[in-house]
Chains A and B, each alone.
Chain A
């Protein structure tokens, strides 16, 4: 009996040892499957993939993978623009660096309609560029100097800035889930349409998801005549980290 117990214990230890590595490599759940840069590069060589820059027209025109469509997640006409595709077509969404919004409406609609091969690019355009792969800029936004404000200094900045206005460029859904007091929502995906609604005489603080998009938005607004623009360092993610 003792021998059997001992043997059983040894087998159990060996099973745990064998299972541990595979457990540590289990992928995380995601709305659309992730695809890495190397796999996408191979796919693009076959020509059987539809690439979608999902961060809106400004970001897409600034830099995109050659051949990409500019269709934002909240684009009402997004699905109809893809009507020529068959249900098994491979579609890859990406944004600049931050991941595609897990609540991306366009992805949800496509999967609801039975599209089975919808992916998001791991690491986004930044990972693509990091591999030295080509990028096209159809209408690049020249970057304009705009200071970053530390999350910890936000309250002080708000007190001292002249007529401050916080512009939250995240999606309407993310904004609705939680935002800074007094922040107004001008999603980056619609900024080229809505920028005219932003008053010119305010000191702007651009807030994005994680600090990677606010510089582009600030530069775009600077081109449109806004002159006093700053950015929240690290975006809302950084602000929440600091608050913890």
Chain B
């Protein structure tokens, strides 16, 4: 190193000597220009400005003949700031000032010859510069701008949100771009407001971002559909970001109606009690929401605790039975198709089978379109939504499926009334309600539950069932409860403004909780308990097709519904229920559609558990 030291010094000296003449040349040229352009701007201030190291001709090019220039014959070429400031120039091409107003650098940087490095903090300088044109009462006085002027370095200045030379404006953006901007600005807000350190320093709640993400607005935003929901600025406004107790704030109680009505054009004044950030404000009670959450938790925990235990115990018992029978050689291959020649028993009518197929289709549509909104942060949410043709189409499919499900519900209600009051005869309705053909629970069901648990532990025989088992009744009645809970809450979320004429806004918050949790209950229950009880239980695996074919074997009836078999035999009705075995096409449809539904359901169940466990 030592032997090269003198050579390095020599190189530095040579470099400096080469550099000095170029600076001198620049000064020399500037001196010549100052002979005419003798204003103090050029003779004094310019040398101290940020561009002071440049000669005049660095920017004002094309002056190749001083005398022609002096006489006014030859002007310099237009100044091209982009020759040096390349990156800024590239991004500025799509900046709103360039695009909408044809503004060039010097329109903002008007004192270009005297431009000094700012003495004030950058954020304050930016604020001051922008409000030279933009109304200060909008941009500099309230909220962030005021805090910046007061020296708060955490607060956002104009360029923190809008960027410096690549500003896109709502005014110039297409509808698609506006959506992108809404998403981008919401992210900008979150970048500071979700930061615990910044929030703590400024006495703000860091939960505002997280609680927004858990609302319908936030979830739909995350799933990639900012077009039709509120981002931060839609409620808080872009610039008039004041505390809610300031009468000038869009969130001031007296102003909330106007703020909400910008999007929810049909709404009652009581709508404003909707919580856009439930749980974000410390010390504020959200009792009704808390009660709803606890209720739904107990409901879900209770249902799953009972039925998952029931399912597991049943499975292990049925598995052991099947193994025993297989060893004894008393069961054949259950996967073999049934023969048409074999007489079977009619269990479901054509209408009931069509209803179940429609129920399956609408249910899968609802799960496939709804769960990406429930778990928008998952890796699969956007993929699933895009499979429906994007968020907009996904929403349309969700609503169509909801309408189909509602129609099924009302038709089932109608059928139930016809069952209870045939030809509007009231007499005997109690007997029918609690009778063997009814789907309404009765005391025998309680005895059957007890009997099943005894059977699970080999403490007794499997109970004998009539036309409907208690778990089938639960499935049926769960749809009734579910439709009222999920259907009503769904319509509230679909038409929140209209429902505000009936209920206050905070009920919409509860509707969101109920809709979400009830959807989880329905989907997970169907994909676990219902699938097991009807298809995955070892003596039926992989599929019980009678809901699609409408009929099943006499032996199956005798084994699974012994009481019904005995009742039908005693009443002499069994012969009238006998039908030809299902045809080839009916069996093919039952196998393909049934198994595809099973596989799809289990796949969706996997996605749901993925979301629950890893997000």
Contact = CB atoms under 8 A, between A and B. Distances in A.
Contacts of B400: 13, 16-17, 20
B403 A132 contact: no
Nearest to A96: B100
B350 interface: yes
B418 to A, nearest CB: 11
Contacts of B134: 148
B384 interface: no
A142 B107 contact: yes
A212 B171 CA distance: 8
Contact of B94 (A10, A16, A20, A130): A130
Interface stretch (A71-79, A111-119, A121-129, A181-189): A121-129
Contacts of A162: none
Contacts of B407: 9, 13
Nearest to B134: A148
A133 to B, nearest CB: 10
Interface in B338-392: 350-351, 354, 358, 389, 392
B135 A132 contact: no
B137 A153 contact: yes
B42 to A, nearest CB: 19
A42 interface: no
B410 to A, nearest CB: 11
Given A3-B350, A6-B354, A212-B171, A149 B135 contact: yes
Contacts of A145: 110, 132-133
Contact of A215 (B99, B133, B174): B133
A21 B396 contact: yes
A158 B336 CA distance: 89
Contacts of B110: 145
B84 interface: no
B566 interface: no
B103 to A, nearest CB: 5
Interface string B137-167: 1100000000000000000000000000000
A216 B101 CA distance: 7
Nearest to B258: A244
Given A6-B354, A142-B106, A145-B132, A130 B99 contact: yes
Nearest to A20: B396
A146 interface: yes
Contacts of B77: none
B172 interface: yes
B135 A21 contact: no
Which has the most chain A C-beta neighbours within 10 Å: B104, B174, B350? B174
B103 A143 contact: yes
Contacts of A223: none
Interface size class of B (residues with CB under 8 A): 35 or more
Nearest to A153: B137
A215 B101 contact: yes
A87 interface: no
Interface string A65-104: 0000000000000000000000000000000110000000
Contacts of A150: 135, 137-138
Nearest to B407: A9
Nearest to B354: A6
A28 interface: no
Contacts of B93: 129, 132
Interface string A12-39: 0100110011001000000000000000
Contacts of B397: 17
B102 A140 contact: yes
A117 to B, nearest CB: 24
B126 interface: no
B102 A63 contact: yes
A147 B100 contact: no
A123 B173 CA distance: 8
Contact of B135 (A17, A126, A143, A148): A148
Nearest to B94: A130
Given A62-B102, A148-B135, A149-B135, A97 B171 contact: yes
B432 to A, nearest CB: 21
B133 A148 contact: yes
Contacts of B102: 62-63, 96, 135, 137, 140, 216
A228 interface: no
B98 interface: yes
Contacts of B396: 17, 20-21
B309 interface: no
A127 B174 contact: yes
A210 interface: yes
A12 to B, nearest CB: 10
Interface in B384-437: 389, 392-393, 396-397, 400, 403-404, 407
Contacts of A149: 135
Nearest to B137: A150
A177 to B, nearest CB: 22
Contacts of A130: 94, 99, 172
B498 to A, nearest CB: 20
A206 to B, nearest CB: 12
A62 to B, nearest CB: 6
A30 B99 CA distance: 25
B252 to A, nearest CB: 15
Nearest to B355: A6
Interface in B207-247: none
Nearest to B392: A24
Given A9-B407, A143-B107, A212 B100 contact: yes
Nearest to B103: A143
A140 B138 CA distance: 29
A211 interface: yes
Contacts of B137: 150, 153
Contacts of A153: 135, 137
Contact of A210 (B94, B104, B171): B171
Contacts of A210: 171
A53 interface: no
Interface string B528-564: 0000000000000000000000000000000000000
A148 B134 CA distance: 5
Nearest to A97: B100
A242 to B, nearest CB: 11
Contacts of B101: 143, 212, 215-216
Nearest to A10: B358
A100 to B, nearest CB: 16
A2 interface: yes
Per CB-CB distance, the 10 closest pairs between chain A and chain B, nearest first, are A143-B107, A63-B102, A148-B135, A129-B99, A126-B172, A126-B100, A126-B99, A145-B132, A17-B400, A97-B100
Given A143-B107, A216-B101, A233-B135, 10 more contacts: A3-B351, A6-B351, A10-B354, A16-B400, A20-B396, A129-B93, A143-B103, A148-B134, A212-B100, A233-B138
7 contacts: A63-B102, A96-B100, A97-B100, A147-B132, A148-B133, A150-B138, A212-B101
